[in-house]
Structures are given as C-alpha cells and as structure tokens.
Structure 1
Amino acid sequence: MKVYGVVGWKNAGKTGLMERLVTEISGYGFSVSTVKHAHHTFDVDQEGKDSYRHRIAGAREVLLASRNRFALMHEMRADDEPTLNELLGKLAPVDLVLIEGYKRDGHSKIEAFRAQTNNPLIATGDLTIRAVASNTPMPLDRPVFDLDDTVAVADFILSEVGLIK
C-alpha cells in the first residue's frame, strides 16, 4: 500500500483538503482509505447503546456490524498508543492510504497552511514534507500549491507515490 500524509496546525485546512483529495483520487478510479490521528480521547460509540455497554463492561474489542458497515473498537487498556505502522497493518489493501496527522512520522507529507492562523510553517524544518498547500504564495525550496487546487495536489501525491507518471 502506498501512504501519503496531510499535516498542519489546527485550522490549517487539513480535513477539508483530505476530504477533497479522497473524492478526487477515488474519482480517478483508485481505492483510498484514510487514517486520522486524534490527540485526545474520542468515542465513536454512543452512551447507553449495547456496544458501548459491552466496551464499558471491559470488552477488549467490540465489533459493531450491520449490512452497511462495521466498526471494530479496540480498547487500549494500557498507555501505549499503537504506531502508525501497526495501524496500517489493520487496514484492508488499497491503492493509497491518506494519513491526517502523524506529522512526526517518517512518511512523505504535504502541509496544509493558512497564513491567518499565525502558526509557523512546519515544512521549513521537516524534509518529509514534500510540498505545501497554502492560501498564500510563499518562497520555498519545494512545490507550493494553492490550498484549493485539489487536482494539482492530488496529481502531485499520485506522482510521488508512483500511481501516475
């Protein structure tokens, strides 16, 4: 599986870019999965529902399934967060996995950047960031795309991972 990341500070446009990239790249006929890193406790379950009750009771894993989808919740009963590689190993094979977050991992990435957030550019100190998608032009030693030019960003990523030439 090919992997490529989208990173940036809060409110930089990562999630919107991810959403547009999934739509665009899927539209090219490639299969795409995503991984999203959360820096906080989150719940995909609803309090009071059977699956929530199973998990709270102490189940290590709860698989919730219907005719339309399934979700496997694995409760981390220790402080060790799984590595990105461990998580990628749990995904079914696809052409491309887009990763939102995991900015310090070693895979190639594109940085989403909005000037009005007043955050520093991550790319200046990180060579795993191969390009920047920004709402403002900037001189940089690697490609800079318009944050809203999804086609150009998608083509760059697909070229980087070898899915198109």
Structure 2
Amino acid sequence: MRILGIAGWSGAGKTTLLAKLIPELTKRGIRVSTMKHAHHAFDVDTPGKDSYVHREAGATEVMVASGKRWALMHELRDAAEPDATELIQHMTPVDLLLIEGFKNEPHDKLEIYRAENGKPLLSADDPTYIAILSDHPVPAAKLPVIDLNDVPAIAAFVLEHCRLPGSR
C-alpha cells in the first residue's frame, strides 16, 4: 500500500482538495482510502444509540455493522494518542492511503500552501514534503509547485511519485 500525506495549516483546503482528488484517482482505477487527523475531540456516535451506551459504559471498542458499512470505534481512555504509523496498521490495504493532517509524521507529504493564511511553509525545513500545492506562485519554494486547482496534474504527480499505474 502506498502512503501519501496532504498537509497544510488550518483553512488551507485539505479536505476540499481530497474531495476532488479522490474521484480523479478512482476513475483512473486506483483504490483509495483516507485517514484524517482531528485536532479536537470528535464523536462519530450519537447519544442515545446502543453503540454510544456501550462506549459510555466502558467498552474499549465498539463495532457497528449493517448491510452497507461497518465502523469500529476505539476509546483511548487514558492511553496516549497513537501516531500515524500505528493507525495505518488498522487500515485495510488498498492501492493508495491518503493521510490528511499528521503534518509532522515521517511519511511523504504534499503541502497545501495559501499565502493569505500568513503562515510559514511547512516544507521549508522538513524533507518529508515532496511538492507544494498552491493557487499562487510561491517564490520561496524549493520544491515543485503544482496549481492547487489543477486536480488532474496533482493526480498525475501523485501516481508518478507513488509508482502507481494510471498517470496520464
């Protein structure tokens, strides 16, 4: 399974890009999964549902399954937050795992950069970044810069870098 991160400061457009990039990659025959880091408490469960009651009662893991999908929720309780490498072990192998966030982890990453955010380039001192995606020129860039709005070009770069078939 190939792994590539999409990182950038909050508000840069990571999720927006992934919503466009995933269909571009899947139409080229690539099986894609995603993993996203959340910087805040989140819940995929709803108070009052049986699975919520199970977790609140102290279950370490709760799986919910139907004819359409299944989801596994794992409570950390007092354990440390796992890093991306540990979490990847829980993913079913596919052609490409795109990881949103986890900007300081050791896997290769594309940086989404927006000058208007007023934040520095993440890639400036981090060799795990392989290219910058931006909707404006990035004069300080020491890496290839790809137009953030050119999704086919981004997909082709991803496929070439990850040595996957389907690049045009």
Q: How many Å separate the matches in 2 of 1:51 and 1:147?
A: 40
The Cα of 1:115 is off from its aligned counterpart by 1.7
What is the correspondence of 1:105-120 to structure 2 with a 5 Å cutoff? 105-120=105-120
Q: How many Å separate the matches in 2 of 1:18 and 1:126?
A: 22
Q: How many Å separate the matches in 2 of 1:8 and 1:55?
A: 33
When the two structures are superposed, what TM-score results if normalisation uses the length of structure 2?
Answer: 0.94
SS in 1 for 2:53: helix
What is the correspondence of 1:36-115 to structure 2 with a 5 Å cutoff? 36-115=36-115
Q: 1:20-56 CA deviation, whole Å, 9 max, x = no partner?
A: 1111111111100000011111100001111101110
The Cα of 1:74 is off from its aligned counterpart by 0.6
Q: Does 1:163 align with 2:167?
A: no
CA contact (8 A) 1:115 1:135 kept: no
SS in 1 for 2:97: strand
SS in 1 for 2:155: helix
Q: 1:61-114 CA deviation, whole Å, 9 max, x = no partner?
A: 100111110100011112311121221111111000000011111111100111
What is the correspondence of 1:138-157 to structure 2 with a 5 Å cutoff? 138-139=138-139, 140-157=141-158
Query: Which residue identity is paired with 2:57?
Result: A
Q: How many Å separate the matches in 2 of 1:79 and 1:57?
A: 17
Q: How many Å separate the matches in 1 of 2:10 and 2:112?
A: 10
CA contact (8 A) 1:132 1:145 kept: yes
Aligned residues with identical type, % of pairs: 49
Return 5+ residue gaps in structure 2 as ranges: none
SS in 2 for 1:19: helix
SS in 2 for 1:67: coil
Q: How many Å separate the matches in 1 of 2:2 and 2:87?
A: 14
SS in 1 for 2:110: strand
Q: How many Å separate the matches in 1 of 2:118 and 2:61?
A: 41
Query: Which residue identity is paired with 1:141?
Result: K
Query: Which residue identity is paired with 1:21?
Result: L
Q: 1:121-150 CA deviation, whole Å, 9 max, x = no partner?
A: 111111211101101112322110111111
What is the correspondence of 1:117-128 to structure 2 with a 5 Å cutoff? 117-128=117-128
Return 5+ residue gaps in structure 1 as ranges: none
Q: How many Å separate the matches in 1 of 2:59 and 2:148?
A: 43
